[in-house]
C-alpha cells in the first residue's frame, strides 16, 4: 500500500512542479512594454517637447514624423504607455476644459504650478516632494505607486494684468452704475 502511494506521488510530482521560466516570462511580458516604432515616436516627442502635450497635439506632431500614423493608433498607444507606467496622464487642474496632458515618467518627481489665467505650466522639483512621499509612506504604511501635486494660481505677469483688469472693471462699474446692457453697448471707443 505504502509503496503504491509513494509511486503515485512520484508520478504526480513532475506534473505539479512549476516551470521556473514561466513566471519570469509572464512578469516580463506584463511589465516590459515592447517599444514598437510608434511607441518610440510618442516617447521621443514627449521627451523632446519638454511641455505637457495633449493627445491631439501629440498626434499632429507624430504625423510629422510618420504620416502613416492615424489618430486611433496614437490614442491607443498613449493608453498602453500609460498602463505600462511609461507615461503620466495629467489634467493640470482642467485649466483648459476637459483636456488631458501627457509627459514621460523618466523625469524626476515634480509638482505642476499652473497659471489659471494664461495656462502656463511650471515644474517644481523640490526635495520637499520626496519628503512628503516618505512621510505618507511612514504614517499610513502606504506603498505609493503614483503621486500628483498640482498648484493653481496666477503667475507674476497675470497678477499685474488681473490687477489692471479688476481696477478697470471697478472704474466702469462706478462710471455707469446700473445702466442697462443695451445702453452700455456703445460705451467709450
Ligand atoms: Zn499667467
Ligand atoms: Zn511635468
Mean pLDDT confidence for 93-103 = 85
Ligand 1 centroid to Cα of residue 116, in Å, is 7
Residues 114 and 86 in one domain: no
Domain of 127?
109-176
Residue 125 maps to a domain: yes
Residue 185 maps to a domain: no
Helix-helix angle 37-49:71-83, to 10 degrees: 80
Give the pLDDT confidence of 9-65 residue by residue, as tens digits: 444 444 434 444 444 444 445 445 556 888 889 999 988 887 789 999 999 999 999
What's the pLDDT at 56? 92
Ligand 2 centroid to Cα of residue 123, in Å, is 6
Give the pLDDT confidence of 134-180 residue by residue, as tens digits: 999 999 999 998 888 999 999 999 999 999 999 999 999 888 766 55
Cβ(110)–Cβ(102) below 8 Å? no
Residues 99 and 123 in one domain: no
Ligand 1 centroid to Cα of residue 178, in Å, is 32
Residues 103 and 29 in one domain: yes
Q: Which of 160, 136, 164, 140 is nearest to 149 (CA)?
A: 136
Residue 7 maps to a domain: no
Residue 189 maps to a domain: no
Residues 103 and 21 in one domain: yes
Q: Which of 33, 51, 35 is nearest to 107 (CA)?
A: 51
What's the pLDDT at 58? 92
What's the pLDDT at 33? 54
Using the 3D structure, point to which of 57, 83, 107 is the last residue of a domain: 107
Residues 138 and 76 in one domain: no
Residues 151 and 123 in one domain: yes
The domain total for the chain is: 2
Amino acid at each position: 500500500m505504502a509503496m503504491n502511494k509513494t509511486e503515485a506521488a512520484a508520478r504526480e510530482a513532475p506534473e505539479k512542479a512549476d516551470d521556473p521560466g514561466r513566471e519570469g516570462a509572464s512578469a516580463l511580458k506584463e511589465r516590459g512594454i515592447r517599444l514598437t516604432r510608434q511607441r518610440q515616436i510618442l516617447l521621443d516627442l514627449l521627451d523632446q517637447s519638454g511641455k505637457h502635450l495633449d493627445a491631439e497635439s501629440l498626434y499632429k506632431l507624430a504625423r510629422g514624423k510618420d504620416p502613416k500614423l492615424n489618430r486611433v493608433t496614437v490614442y491607443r498607444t498613449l493608453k498602453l504607455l500609460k498602463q505600462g507606467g511609461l507615461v503620466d496622464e495629467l489634467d493640470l487642474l482642467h485649466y483648459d476644459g476637459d483636456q488631458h496632458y501627457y509627459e514621460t515618467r523618466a523625469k524626476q518627481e515634480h509638482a505642476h504650478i499652473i497659471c489659471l489665467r494664461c495656462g502656463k505650466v511650471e515644474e517644481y522639483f523640490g526635495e520637499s516632494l520626496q519628503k512628503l512621499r516618505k512621510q505618507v509612506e511612514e504614517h499610513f504604511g502606504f506603498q505609493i505607486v503614483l503621486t500628483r501635486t498640482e498648484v493653481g494660481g496666477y503667475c507674476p505677469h497675470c497678477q499685474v494684468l488681473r490687477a489692471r483688469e479688476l481696477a478697470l472693471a471697478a472704474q466702469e462699474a462706478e462710471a455707469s452704475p446700473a445702466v442697462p446692457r443695451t445702453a452700455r453697448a456703445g460705451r467709450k471707443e
